[in-house]
Amino acid sequence: MTTPIKILIYGYGNSGRQDDGLGNEFIKRMEKWVRSEGLTDIELASDFQLKMDDAYAISDKDVVVFVDASDEPIESFSLTRVEPSGLKTAFTTHAASASFILSLCNKLYETNPTTYLLHIKGYEWDFKEGLTEKAMENLGKALKYIQEKLRQKKL
């Protein structure tokens, strides 16, 4: 009998800044799907931003998917592998990156979960709640993609 892999999907962003809330909304929608599928090996979490404490949160996982909004020139979403960045960073906890969190996890806990960053294309960043219509479309595409990967056990 094989041991199920432990997966963490962690969305982050500011829901009070329009499309910056894509990561958090992704988690809300995934919660419903995970429940409906009866999946017990997938943990979901969301926050305003990544923090150094998150190195501990990922340390016992096999696979981690960080989910964030993006203003990069991508189609609708992009899933990329995260590699450790090294521990050189400015003295701030406000802008921890996924690669920094993975590096910290490697250093402190000597674990190296397979880690991805799912960027979902956003368009508006004003101080206002609610996602734009185009961002909602991108969110739907990203959800379907990740759900299919999870069904096929290809993450």
> pTM for this one?
0.93
- Confidence check: pLDDT of 91 > 50: no
**Does residue 28 surpass a pLDDT of 90?**
yes
The better pLDDT of the pair 148, 86 is held by 148
Residue range of the domain that includes 64: 7-151
> Which pLDDT belongs to residue 85?
82
- The verdict on residue 2 lying in a domain is no
123-143 tens-digit pLDDT: 999 999 999 999 999 999 999
Let me know if residue 60 belongs to a domain. yes
Q: Encoding tokens for residue 82? A: 């995260």
pLDDT grade for 94, boundaries at 50, 70 and 90 = low
Rounded-to-integer distance, Cα 68 and Cα 139, Å: 11
CA distance 93 to 105: 15
Task: For residue 57, give the CATH number of its domain.
Answer: 3.40.50.1450
Q: What is the DSSP letter of 3?
A: P
Is 147 part of a structural domain of the chain?
yes
Mean pLDDT of 11-27: 98
| pLDDT at residue 90 tops 70 | no
Handedness of CA 53, 93, 143, 16 (dihedral sign): positive
Name the residue with tokens 């997938």: 42
Assess if residue 1 is contained within a domain.
no
Number of domains in the chain: 1
pLDDT for 4: 81
Residue whose entry in the numeric block shows the structure tokens 């958090």: 24
pLDDT digits (tens, 9 = 90+) for 34-84: 999 999 999 999 999 999 999 999 999 999 999 999 999 999 999 999 999
In the prediction, which pLDDT does 88 show? 58
pLDDT score at 150: 95
